[in-house]
Each structure stands twice: as structure tokens, then as C-alpha cells.
Chain A
């Protein structure tokens, strides 16, 4: 069964600084990995996914993620955080057409 861990509950970062949200995974078979963001009282918005190929995946709103097979990690990154990036971020792994989600990370960008 697929599982995903997001070790930090909250990530605080100053506006303009680099943002990293950590994710590690445990999957059987090929890892298909996703990042979603959720704003208050909203559904999940897709940011990016890793299926195969280049380990650096670029996504929406300036986000990117680095797939590391040896460390079984898929960390989300943004070079320069914006206040509007404050939200809940979820990492997920696909398994049999179901997504296994991490617990989520609350990101707070401080002006």
C-alpha cells in the first residue's frame, strides 16, 4: 500500500525567501507523486506531478518539486515565497487509482 509522510505540521517562511515543503513516500511499484494546495473553504488545486523522467518537475504558480529515488522524497519548492502562498499543502501518491495523502503542511508566509 502507498503511504506518504509530511513530517512538519507548519512551515513558516518570510516573504521573498525560499520555501520548501517536505514529503517522503513509500510505494510498491513505480511512484506516481502529486502535490496539491488547499485554500480555506476550498477544494484541492493541482500543482504538479512526477510520473517519470526528469527528477525536477515544474508546476503551477512558480512551484517545482524534486524527486529523489534514493531518499524516497518528493519535496516541494519555490524560490521566492509570496504571502498569497499561505495555504495547506498536500503530497500524495497514486496507487490503484486512489490517492494516498500525507497529513498536510500549513505554510505561513510572513510579510
Chain B
């Protein structure tokens, strides 16, 4: 089985721009979660989607949004970029039908976003 894929792998943007990141989950996985990783804050949960519905959301401003398509692929969008948005954005997929879930989240390689 192919793993979780994320595109693009690297992005450079300037302040005020917006960006869209894409994630394709493992085949058969219906839950997709997004995390932000920075040296200062570590790994922080952004949101989780299941069957095209946002089921869970972390403590991030409304500039961060996401969606999930019927094939379980997910996108996240960050508008009005700030310097502090520079981070590695990780996507994870799992079966996760029930909450709480005992299913393993499998991570993609991440998208490295640099905001100048």
C-alpha cells in the first residue's frame, strides 16, 4: 500500500499571501489530520476530517482552514501568511471510524513552508 503523500514538499511564500497544501491518505483511510511542527511549539494539532466533515479542531486562528473531498484527499489553506506560520505541516491518515480511536495515525513526509 502506498503511504500518505503530501504536495508540495517545499514552499516559499511572502507575508500576506495564501497557500494551499494537499494530502492524499492511505487507501481506505477516511480520517485525515493535520499538524504543525515548529522548533518552539513542537507538534500541534490543527484539525481532523472524517467523511468530508471537520470532526475536530485545534487552537489555531481562522486563517487556517481545511477541507476533505469525497475520495478522502484533504487540503489545508492558510490565508494572510505571517512569518510565524513557517513550519513543517504534517498530514496523517487513519481508519479512525470511532472516537476515541485506537487506530494508528500514519504520517506523510510533510510540507516545509517558509514565509519571508
B42-85 interface code vs A (CB 8 A; 1 in, 0 out) = 11010010100001101000000000000000000000000000
With a CB–CB cut-off of 8 A, which chain A residues contact B48?
A: 97-98
Q: How many residues of B contact A (CB 8 A)?
A: 28
B31 at the interface (CB under 8 A from A): yes
With a CB–CB cut-off of 8 A, which chain A residues contact B56?
A: 96-98
Q: Roughly how many angstroms separate A43 CA and B92 CA in the complex, as a whole number? A: 9
18 A–B pairs (Cβ distance < 8 Å), ordered by A: A34-B104, A42-B109, A43-B110, A46-B107, A94-B100, A94-B102, A95-B100, A96-B100, A97-B33, A97-B50, A97-B56, A98-B45, A98-B56, A99-B45, A99-B92, A100-B45, A101-B35, A102-B42
Q: Size band of the A side of the interface?
A: 20 to 34
Top-9 shortest CB links A-B:
A101-B43, A43-B107, A44-B107, A98-B45, A43-B109, A51-B102, A103-B42, A43-B110, A97-B101
With a CB–CB cut-off of 8 A, which chain A residues contact B12?
A: none
A29 touches B100 (CB 8 A): yes
With a CB–CB cut-off of 8 A, which chain B residues contact A32?
A: 100-102
Q: Roughly how many angstroms separate A89 CA and B35 CA in the complex, as a whole number? A: 16
